[in-house]
Amino acid sequence: MDVFTTGLIVLFAMTAIFYIVLFSFIFYWHLAKISFVIVPMIFTFEFFAIGFFVVCIVSIILNYLPGIIRLLGL
């Protein structure tokens, strides 16, 4: 399995954990006026944007790491 696929699986697992925590908080916030549609969409967009950039940056670093090590002579 390549690095990007592993990162994608980790991202999906973290998304499941994120939704479990988010909906448990929303359940406890039911006394406040919170939208059950807008708030999760905003949090999900931020979560996926951060997760996407983390997976991309890590996969790029791991892809070019052997070349950098060879260039440095280590």
Predicted local confidence at residue 14, as pLDDT: 79
The model carries a pTM of 0.48
Can you give the residue range of the structural domain that contains 28? 3-72
pLDDT on residue 32: 61
Give the mean pLDDT of 10-28: 77
**Which residue in 13, 10, 1, 21 sits closest to 56, CA to CA?**
10
The per-residue pLDDT for range 23-58, each reduced to its tens digit, is: 777 776 666 665 666 667 677 777 777 877 887 788
The total number of structural domains that make up the chain:
1
Q: Work out the end-to-end distance of the chain between its first and last CA atoms, rounded to an integer number of angstroms.
A: 26
- Give the chain's radius of gyration (CA, Å): 18
What pLDDT score was predicted for residue 10?
79
pLDDT of residue 31: 62
pLDDT higher than threshold 80 for residue 63: yes
